[in-house]
Amino acid sequence: MAAEGHSEAPELDESSWVYLSAGSSAQPADSALLEQIVEACARCGWRTVTHPPPKPNGGADPGRHFASVSHAVEHADVFVAMIGGEDEMADAELTLAYSHGRPVVGVQIGEASLNTQARMLLAGYERARIVTCSTPGECAVSLQQTLSDPAFVEKIRQAW
């Protein structure tokens, strides 16, 4: 039985982790949502990894950044992304996750349409779940339930 506020977590290897797509947005509301998602993952026993995009004119090599992101996405046990908005970085990361066969959880606040090609991939992808919620807190609870769902945990294990 799970402790109050905690879902039953699957048996995870200590090296299991979630790649969290932070996209390119820097809105304060997005930061609050990302923080709650990291906490929800932790409550389920998942560590999170993210690669914020390089700052414009920051001198970072875009090719090196892309290679690092690609490697991280390819080796993640699960990929979690905010969906429903326009974000080319999140779309690129989502496409990488799909192409590498990674299990994906799309987190969407509100009923925004899946209006980009990358996000439309999720609709027919058997290793994907879409969590639709109204508030960051509701998103965190729904994500926690998804990451603890035995059927989805089995999809994750199959990808190992």
How far is 74 from 138, CA to CA, in rounded Å? Answer: 28
The fold adopted by the segment(s) 17-159 is Rossmann fold (3.40.50)
116: number of Cβ within 10 Å: 18
Average pLDDT over residues 77-98: 86
Q: To 5 degrees, how large is the angle CA 20–CA 23–CA 28?
A: 95
**Residue ranges of domains in the chain:** 17-159
Question: Nearest to residue 82, comparing CAs of 119, 117, 127, 39?
Answer: 119
Q: To 5 degrees, how large is the angle CA 146–CA 9–CA 19?
A: 60
**pTM, two decimal places:** 0.83
| Model pLDDT for residues 38-81, shown as the tens digit of each residue | 999 999 889 999 887 777 776 777 788 888 889 999 999 999 98
